[in-house]
Amino acid sequence: MSRLRRSMLFVPGNNPGMIRDAHIYGSDSIMFDLEDSVAITEKDAARFLVYKALTTLRYGKKELVVRINDLSSGLGVADLEAIVRARPDVIRLPKTDSAKDVIECEREIERIEREAGIPVGTTGMMAAIESANGVLNAKEIAFSSKRLIGIALGAEDYVTDLKTTRSPEGIELMFARGMIVNAAKAAGIMALDTVYSDVNNEEGFIAEATMIRKMGFDGKSVINPRQIAPLHKVFTPSEKDLMKAHAIMDAIAEANARGSGVASLKGKMIDKPVVARAQYLLEMAERAKTITVEEV
């Protein structure tokens, strides 16, 4: 089973305290940010800090992601020079408008991998789509590189592009979310949802998380550690769903034992996708069940 990416915790790249503690909150991924959370005058300092943290501190089994500045800002390549060498799991490219953006970034990553003696292709990528144009190009972006582990929605810039604002219900994001989740699944990669910025509105956060899970998203970015537990709860299968999944797997096992290729439950034949879904559900439940102390 592929990695769980229910939660990706944003960590400002110039904040040593948060960088030090980023792994304690139990998010599936940690995203160190060199982009919007870092003042333009501190880009160099944040780069040193994230580089040093990645090469020194231990984060256990957490997936480590670094959001670089976009390449057109003139900072992106400098970010890559440092960060690729620090060997995070994934580079997150912001403001992706087209497949070309991904390919350009990939070219730089590959060059640096070669220069640094890093096996080519080991640095993963994800692309954040943050404009109307990017959303329309979601499919070509999702298919643009083997390195892509997923595509993400960046809502703040996107709603600005649409000349609207974010609402609690998120009606303005319906199309973008639909496009992105569909493009991602077509390409066989993950779809990751945008942040929910009102950290004090837990109810609103849970409602949004429930919706995006239903839509098919694999996870969501979080800006405050407090959002991780409720988010994981949303992504944890219910008792009812689990019982059903167990019943399906039992029926399959029983059919196999009988030497029959056809399993049925309550008189209904069990289709292949149903089995796959049940399997996924059980694995997710297993993964979500225990918080273990990682040897970091």
We find the least distance from the C-beta atom of residue 245 to another protein, in angstroms, to be 19
| 52 binds another protein per the rule CB under 8 A | yes
| 186 binds another protein per the rule CB under 8 A | no
**Residue 40 or 293: which CB sits closer to another protein?**
293
We find the least distance from the C-beta atom of residue 293 to another protein, in angstroms, to be 4
Q: Where are the alpha helices (DSSP H) in the chain?
A: 16-21, 43-56, 76-86, 99-116, 132-136, 138-142, 155-161, 174-187, 202-215, 228-234, 239-258, 272-289
**Residue 9 or 179: which CB sits closer to another protein?**
9
Lookup result for tokens 């080519």: 120
Instruction: Name the residue among 92, 54, 55 with its Cα closest to residue 71.
Output: 92
| 4 binds another protein per the rule CB under 8 A | no
**For the stretch 160-190, what's the b/e string if a residue is b when 16 or more beta carbons lie within 10 angstroms of its beta carbon?**
eebeeebeeebeebeebbebbbbbbeebebb
| 289 binds another protein per the rule CB under 8 A | yes
| 279 binds another protein per the rule CB under 8 A | no
Stretch 31-50 residues interacting with another protein (CB under 8 A) = 44-45, 48-49
**Residue 106 or 113: which CB sits closer to another protein?**
113
List 7, 27, 30, 51, residue binding another protein (CB under 8 A): 51
**Residue 165 or 290: which CB sits closer to another protein?**
290
d(CA 29, CA 61): 9
Q: Is-contact 38 72, C-beta < 8 A?
A: no
Stretch 215-274 residues interacting with another protein (CB under 8 A) = 224-226, 229
The site for another protein (CB under 8 A) is made up of 14-17, 19-21, 24-25, 44-45, 48-49, 51-58, 78, 81-82, 85-87, 116-119, 224-226, 229, 289-293, 296
